[in-house]
Structure 1
Amino acid sequence: MHGPISPGWLLVALCAATGAYCLLRMRSGVEEQRRAAGSEALMGFGMAAMAVPAAVFTPPQWAWSGYAVVFGAAGLHALWAARTDAHHLHHLVGTSAMVYMAVVMAASPGSHTGHGGAGVAPVTGALLLYFAGYVLLSGVRLVPVAGGGGAVAWGDRPELARACRLSMGIAMVTMLLTM
């Protein structure tokens, strides 16, 4: 990611923490939590790796192709899973955004803009609109709802899963803004 170093490291930490929590959710006794957790962990760790400030580490050119392949495969999995669970359509958009960013970074290693400095590329703009809307909707979903109490395992807490999704949405907007 290109931009100031401190916000870049904060983004890395946020995405890595989100990925780690998603790994914890994969051990949940609630099937709904487990289903999406693997894809979300991959997104969290992938976004953390891509967000490492370029001033600290610039990956070799072939790494961007690796990102594109990994997230392309994750996108195919999300497309397949979307047959039975509409939430995976969001995963499909997220993995597509990751592939897009990896391709842009591979194609323009010097400028890292993907649009030649002439404004926001249409794909970047569309992804920004989608993820900005997703962040707003996710934020509204964090509003607590009166419900049953009781002790719930960390991996089964739906409000933490929503907070993680919100975090990744904000991180995606941030990464797209740096394109």
Structure 2
Amino acid sequence: MHGPASPAWLLVALCAATGAYCLLRMRSGVEDQRRAAGGDAVMGFGMAAMAVPSAVFTPPAWAWAGGAVVFGAAGLRGLWAARAGRRHLHHLVEAGAMVYMAAVMAASPAAGSAAHVHGHGTSGPPVLTGALLLYFAGYVLLTGVRLIPGVAVAGGGAGGDGAATAGWGDRPELARACRLAMAIGMLAMLPAM
């Protein structure tokens, strides 16, 4: 990523912490939640690696191509999982955004001097960037609204209807918060390309 170092390091910390939390979520007893947590962990750590300031470490172009392959495979997995339910479509879009950003980053060093000559940067097609920004902005708003505590549900709480017996890795609001953090990270990364 190109831009100021302090926000980039905050983004690295957010994405790495999210990826680490998602690894912990993989201990769930529910297989579907373990798979989703694994995909979230890959995205979180991949975003953390992409967000490292280029002044600190600039990986070779082949590393970005490798990242595009990894996230392409994650996208295919998301496409396969989307057959079971539309909630998996977000993983597909997220993986596609990561492939897009990795491809732009891979092309960035080779086109460095040509970008100044032709008068445009290497940020990729602005329409695709704009579409991804709109998607992730909508996702952030929708997920944020879903996380707002509502009216207390009768029977909920410590002695409720089994909600207290679920492990902390099985709580849907924590998974939403994890995906919300990564979507916010995407909103920060896309315009900085």
TM-score computed with the length of structure 1 as normaliser: 0.92
Q: Which moved more, 1:31-40 or 1:71-80?
A: 31-40
CA distance in 1: counterparts of 2:74 and 2:192, whole angstroms: 23
Report the equivalent of 1:48: 48
Q: Structure 1 residue 27: deviation in Å?
A: 0.6
Report the equivalent of 1:153: 167
Q: Structure 1 residue 169: deviation in Å?
A: 0.4
Identity fraction in percent? 76
- Deviation per residue, 1:32-83 (Å, 9 max, x gap): 4223111111000000011101111101111010011000011001000100
Q: Structure 1 residue 118: deviation in Å?
A: 9.6
CA distance in 2: counterparts of 1:176 and 1:24, whole angstroms: 27
Count residues with an aligned counterpart: 177
Mapping 1:64-75, distance limit 5 Å? 64-75=64-75
Report the equivalent of 1:77: 77
Contact 2:107 2:122 in 1 (8 A): no
Report the equivalent of 2:184: 170
Q: Which amino acid in the other structure matches residue 94 of structure 1?
A: E
Q: Which amino acid in the other structure matches residue 75 of structure 1?
A: G
Report which of the two structures shows the higher radius of gyration computed on alpha carbons.
Answer: 2
CA distance in 1: counterparts of 2:29 and 2:157, whole angstroms: 18
CA distance in 2: counterparts of 1:15 and 1:69, whole angstroms: 20
- Deviation per residue, 1:139-172 (Å, 9 max, x gap): 1011124232234432122222111111000000
Q: Structure 1 residue 88: deviation in Å?
A: 1.2
CA distance in 1: counterparts of 2:39 and 2:179, whole angstroms: 11
Mapping 1:24-103, distance limit 5 Å? 24-103=24-103
Q: Structure 1 residue 29: deviation in Å?
A: 2.1
SS at match of 1:56: coil
User: Which sections of structure 1, spanning at least 5 residues, go unmatched?
Assistant: none
Is 2:127 the partner of 1:122? Answer: yes
Is 2:50 the partner of 1:18? Answer: no
CA distance in 1: counterparts of 2:3 and 2:59, whole angstroms: 16
Q: Which amino acid in the other structure matches residue 135 of structure 2?
A: Y
Q: Structure 1 residue 20: deviation in Å?
A: 0.8
TM-score computed with the length of structure 2 as normaliser: 0.85
CA distance in 2: counterparts of 1:70 and 1:108, whole angstroms: 19
- Deviation per residue, 1:66-106 (Å, 9 max, x gap): 01100001100100010002111110000000000111111
